[in-house]
Amino acid sequence: MYLSFTGSKINANLSLWIITALVLSVFTYRLLFFSNDSFLFSVIQDILVISFILVLTLFFIKKIRLRNPNPSTLVLNSGIIVAFVFLVIIFAEKFLNILFYNVNLKFNNPGVFENLVYTIYALMILGITCYWFATFRELHFYKEYRKKNRYFLTMVVFITLSSISNLLFRGKDYEYIYNTFFIISVILIALNSVKISWIAFISKKEKISLLVLSIIISTLFILNLINSSEEQFSGKFLTNFSPSFYQFFMLILLYGAIYFTVLFFTTLFHIPTAEAYDRKAKEVSSLQYFSKLITQVLDFEELAETITDIATKVSSADAAWIVINDGDNKKILANKNIAYVDADLINKYLLESGVCDKITGTKICNLDKFAEKSKLSEKFGSIAISPLKSFTEIKGYLIAARKNELIFYEEDKTAINTFSDYASVAIENSLLLEQSIEKERLEKEFDVARDIQRKIVPLKDPEFENLSVSSVFIPAFEVGGDYYDFFEISKTKLGFIIADVAGKGISAAFIMAEVKGIFSSLSRMLESPKEILIKANEILQETLNKKNFVSALYGIIDFDKEIIRFARAGHCPALLVRDNAVEAFKPSGIGLGLTNNSLFKIHLEEIKIDLKESDTLVFYTDGITEAQNKELQDFGDKRFTEILIKNANESVSQIASEVIKDVTLFSRNHFQYDDITLVILKWHKKNNIDGVKEWQNSTPQLKTRVL
């Protein structure tokens, strides 16, 4: 009750009123009922004095808390006061003797004026004692959990008991009770003086001044203690005023003496490390650390490590980690001094239970209400969480944690917040850089793939007397695997291939190059489409990865015999436009690289067509029929057939451009997903001059269209 901070409920005015009332009642009581012999008088007076001590101490505690001073100020204040008290105690007797002639005699029977002066003097000492006690309490709890005060509370109880017993039992039959309380109080005072954790947080300069101050103050406390002993004037005087208060006063002096002696030694032991601490503190405040971040944006992982490393130093935290929002998941990065599981548990509490999401700056949370706190392998108690912001969103969080009884304070917040702002910028830059490098890499890859493809497909269409040829090739952005080629086998024979490699990008481009090599050599060795495809399957079956395959259609046009022979290995059908109708030829055949050669051979069919005047042969890849519009409908066979029939009497280049125009128009609002290849051949009977003319009028610029 005493320390549970009931003071906060009483407003400042009320406490002042109570204090004034108590002061007046002490005065009145002493003036009206003064009696040297009455035990009842002493008891009632002590009750008044004790309640006064209680109220005044609470009042000082609140005052000190409101000013939120640093420990050095508190130490200095108590130092000034202890020096003052020292002088007062030394000169009080002489001064009062001058004033009242012989003070000692008048103790027991003071007149009204003397009584008034004695009371003022005693109450002044009482006020000072209360202030000391409030100061010691503040120093004791500085940078500590306020809840962990069991020792302190016990000490307060025993100090009170010891004080009261001085009145009740001292010098009587039950003196051992007084002695017991007194000894326990002294032990508890000593115990409570041992832990001085705030010393670590002050700079070397402050430590040195603290060292000097603490030795002076502790000496003064000891001297005051000696000067106030029962044989001395002060001792007699205060015992006469109130035995309880005298005991309290002596115990507080003892507390001061012990505390400042301990403080002296603690500071002394901290001096050697003070320099290192100072240097770190300076580094933190300088931009040295932050500039380190800027040089590390090239490697995101390394940057994250550095950030958590610096975060622990900046905030004197025991552990730190980064949480990055990765879609719906939260990814833990660079966890420093904390197990991954612990960080994960704390994240869940902070971010998913709604404790710390939607924050705009550093927030300090404690884990008191964290239900799964016991699951943590280490005792983390206080958390500082800072959002890592980019221009538009929160990318993640930087979290620092302190263990055990150390908690984060408001002054830690500024440092962490400033640092997390720098960290946000560094992370944002690093991610942007990573993205642009990745994008550039992909674009380079596509460039290489397109370059390979462009070199693989023919630069221009071949020209013949009896055959007009037009080809269109439109690579998709993410290069597909289309390939086509013409091989002049002899003066009377033209071989051609149209193929589609499964897959995309640079790997498809490499397979394409292999396919080109295979067919350009095979076309010189073998004169049967079927045999060429069988041989190609044999080679590709060995070289291709199991998941890869190539669909191909290989044909040979014999100008002398006026025939075309072709075989299809899993490729789109060949279309023949004749007499205003389209006939699709889909001879049996399995894609290249899909199966072993015996099975492939059995199922491969070769077709022979006798060519008639104006026969138009159309070869294509699925990039045409599977071109999609915004509603994800396919261009399809039907549209394709219709446009071919409609333009059947046009030149090859005209037909090709009409088809491409139609496909482009159809899929104008949709991404071109696959390469588009179209090869159109038109047969002209021997000595037919139109064919030659037609070729010369074609529009070659169509071939180089790149999206």
Partner 1 sequence: MAEFNTSIKDQGAVSVINLKGYLDAHTAPILENNFVDLIDKNRYQIVVDFKELAYISSAGLGVFMAYIEKIRESNGDIKLSGMNDKVYNIFDLLGFPLLYEIFKSETEAVKKFTEIK
Q: Contact positions toward partner 1, by CB under 8 A?
A: 500, 502-504, 546-549, 551, 569-573, 586, 588-591, 594-595, 599, 603, 622, 634
CA 102 to chain centre: 76
Query: Per DSSP, which regions of 358-481 are E strands?
Result: 363-366, 380-389, 394-403, 467-474
The amino acid at 359: I
Q: What is the spatial distance between Cα 509 and Cα 507, in angstroms, rounded to a whole number?
A: 5
Tokens of 497: 């291939």
Q: What separation in angstroms does the CA of 495 have from each of 144, 243, 554, 567, 614?
A: 89, 123, 7, 12, 20
Sheet holding 616-620, edge to edge: 467-474, 676-683, 616-620, 574-578, 581-585
Of residues 166 and 551, the one with the C-beta less far from partner 1: 551
Q: How far is the CB of 511 from partner 1 (least distance, A)?
A: 12
Nearer to partner 1 by C-beta: 250 or 515?
Answer: 515
Question: At 109, is the secondary structure helix, strand, or coil?
Answer: coil
Nearer to partner 1, 343 or 502 (CB): 502
Comparing C-alpha atoms, which of 276, 176, 219 is closest to residue 83? 219
Residue with tokens 């130490």: 75
Can you say whether the dihedral through the CA atoms of 338, 340, 346, 352 is positive or negative? positive
Q: Which is nearer to partner 1, 170 or 601 (CB)?
A: 601
Our CB check for partner 1 shows the closer of 615 and 674 to be: 674
Query: In this complex, which beta carbon is closest to partner 1, that of residue 93 or of residue 637?
Result: 637
Q: Closest Cα to residue 567, out of 594, 605, 515? A: 605
Closer by beta carbon to partner 1, 547 or else 668: 547
- Closest approach of Cβ 621 to partner 1, in Å? 11
> Phi/psi at 432 (nearest 5 deg)?
-60, -45
Shortest Cβ distance from residue 479 to partner 1 (Å)? 13
The total number of residues shown for the chain amounts to 707
Provide the minimum distance between the beta carbon of 453 and partner 1 in the complex, in angstroms, as a whole number: 16
CB of 452 vs partner 1, minimal distance in Å:
19
Least distance to partner 1, CB of residue 553, Å = 11
Nearer to partner 1, 415 or 572 (CB): 572
Rounded Cα distance, 129 and 123, in Å:
10
**Phi/psi of residue 333, each to 5°?**
-120, 150
Strand runs labelled E in 279-419: 319-326, 329-336, 363-366, 380-389, 394-403
The C-alpha atoms of residue 132 and residue 138 are separated, in whole angstroms, by 10
Tell the smallest beta-carbon distance from residue 502 to partner 1 (Å). Answer: 4
Our CB check for partner 1 shows the closer of 541 and 654 to be: 541
Q: How far is the CB of 540 from partner 1 (least distance, A)?
A: 12
Beta carbon nearer to partner 1, 478 or 615? 478
The distance of closest approach from Cβ of residue 551 to partner 1 in the complex, given in angstroms and rounded to an integer, is 6
CA angle 580, 585, 586 (to 5 degrees): 150
Closest separation in Å from C-beta 522 to partner 1? 20
Give the separation between CA 529 and CA 552, rounded to whole angstroms: 11
Q: Which is nearer to partner 1, 48 or 590 (CB)?
A: 590
Single-letter amino acid, residue 627? A
CA 417 vs. chain centroid, Å, equals 13
**What do you get for the CA distance between the two ends of the chain, in Å?**
81
Taking alpha carbons only, the member of 653, 664, 637 closest to residue 575 is: 637
Shortest separation between residue 544's beta carbon and partner 1, angstroms:
10
CB of 584 to partner 1, least distance (A): 11
Min CB(454)–partner 1 separation in Å:
21
Asked whether 122 and 238 are in contact (CB, 8 A), the reply is yes
Nearer to partner 1, 369 or 586 (CB): 586
Q: Considering beta carbons, is residue 180 or 595 the nearer one to partner 1?
A: 595
Least separation in angstroms between residue 609's CB and partner 1 is: 20
Minimal distance in Å, beta carbon 587 to partner 1?
Answer: 11
Are 680 and 471 spatial neighbours (Cβ–Cβ below 8 Å)? Answer: yes
Q: Give the nearer residue to partner 1 in terms of CB position, either 580 or 588.
A: 588
Distance CA 79, CA 218 (A): 9
Pick between residue 110 and residue 591 the one whose CB is nearest to partner 1.
Answer: 591
- The CA–CA distances, whole Å, from 444 to 447, 476, 477, 479 equal 5, 15, 12, 12
Backbone Cα Rg of the chain: 48
- Please give the angle made by the CA atoms of 624, 627 and 632, to the nearest 5 degrees: 155
> Token digits for 65?
């808390």
